[in-house]
Amino acid sequence: MAVAMRSTVQKAGASPRVSARRSVVVRSGKTLGGKGPVPAVEQDAYEYLKTCPGVSAPFDNVFDPAGLARTTNLRDLKRWRESEIVHGRVSMLAALGFIVGEQLQDFPLFFNFDGRVEGPAIYHFQQIGQGFWEPLLIFIGVAESYRVAVAWATPTGTGFNALKDEYEPGYLGFDPLNLLPEDEAARKELQTKEINNGRLAMIAIAAFVAQELVEQTEIFEHLFLRFEKEAILELDDLERDIGLPLTPLPEELKGI
């Protein structure tokens, strides 16, 4: 009976309600039964990703070993891209903050809350007192409110948690130094550099946190201890070859 009714509707011409429903199906990327993505939408999402900044050597095409871009729709893919760019920017700031904070914590002119902040950066959070977090939270709230106003669509039944159609992921119009080129190719190249550096920063900050949790040492302290250990081991090899007594390895280097 359902087949007969569908045939009758097709002969009579699709009603506006049917057309509207089909348009919703195409936008959502789901079949009428909700069992999977519509192939046309899947292809649109993947082709869109191939044109985005961030596609660079050694991968000539989209690097997507899990095939996530082929199983989603364009709306969700844009949201993922926005998330990648934002997390990359935060990670670049975090990686820089780890290094700068650890190196300047003993510098007299550095704002160090009366010398309370010391040691690995993963423990700076607990050491900072009042007067820092309140302005920071206000600043983050203002920045995020601006990003939501620029990028995110008004939540609706079919458009909840979605970006605006005209919004380009990552582009908030904030360029006080006027660094973004007008030329399309140069602009895409600069955006690709930003995304690639953000990806590297996400890996770096995860490694920083893991290393400091395991070894309880600052980033450069860990690096220089590694250099010192390697230098002593190389010296031991030389002393062993020429028959001299070996240079003992300090206790703090034995566990590295």
What does the block give as tokens for 9?
Answer: 């509707």
Q: How high is the pLDDT of residue 23?
A: 39
Q: How high is the pLDDT of residue 110?
A: 67
87 is in an annotated binding site: yes
User: How open is the CA angle 94-95-96, to the nearest 5 degrees?
Assistant: 90
240 is in an annotated binding site: no
In tens, the pLDDT along 97-145 reads 998 888 887 776 666 666 677 888 898 888 887 778 889 899 999 999 9
178 is in an annotated binding site: no
194 is in an annotated binding site: yes
Of 49-58, 191-200, 206-215, minimum mean pLDDT range: 49-58
Global pTM reads 0.71
Other C-beta atoms within 10 Å of 251: how many?
Answer: 7
Q: How high is the pLDDT of residue 1?
A: 39
Identify which of 156, 155, 180 has the alpha carbon closest to the alpha carbon of residue 168: 180
What does the block give as tokens for 174?
Answer: 């904030």
pLDDT averaged over every residue in the chain: 78
Q: How high is the pLDDT of residue 196?
A: 93
In tens, the pLDDT along 215-252 reads 888 888 877 777 787 888 888 888 888 888 888 887 77
Q: Report whether pLDDT(54) > 80.
A: yes
Q: How high is the pLDDT of residue 248?
A: 83
211 is in an annotated binding site: yes
Terminal alpha carbon distance of the chain: 75
CATH class of 49-216: mainly alpha
- φ/ψ of 230, rounded to 5, equals -65, -40
Other C-beta atoms within 10 Å of 109: how many?
Answer: 6
Q: How high is the pLDDT of residue 204?
A: 95
197 is in an annotated binding site: yes
73 is in an annotated binding site: no
In tens, the pLDDT along 8-37 reads 434 444 444 444 333 333 444 443 334 444
What does the block give as tokens for 98?
Answer: 């780890």
Domain-by-domain residue ranges, the chain?
49-216, 217-255
Q: How high is the pLDDT of residue 33?
A: 38
Share of the chain above pLDDT 90, in %: 27
Q: How high is the pLDDT of residue 223?
A: 79
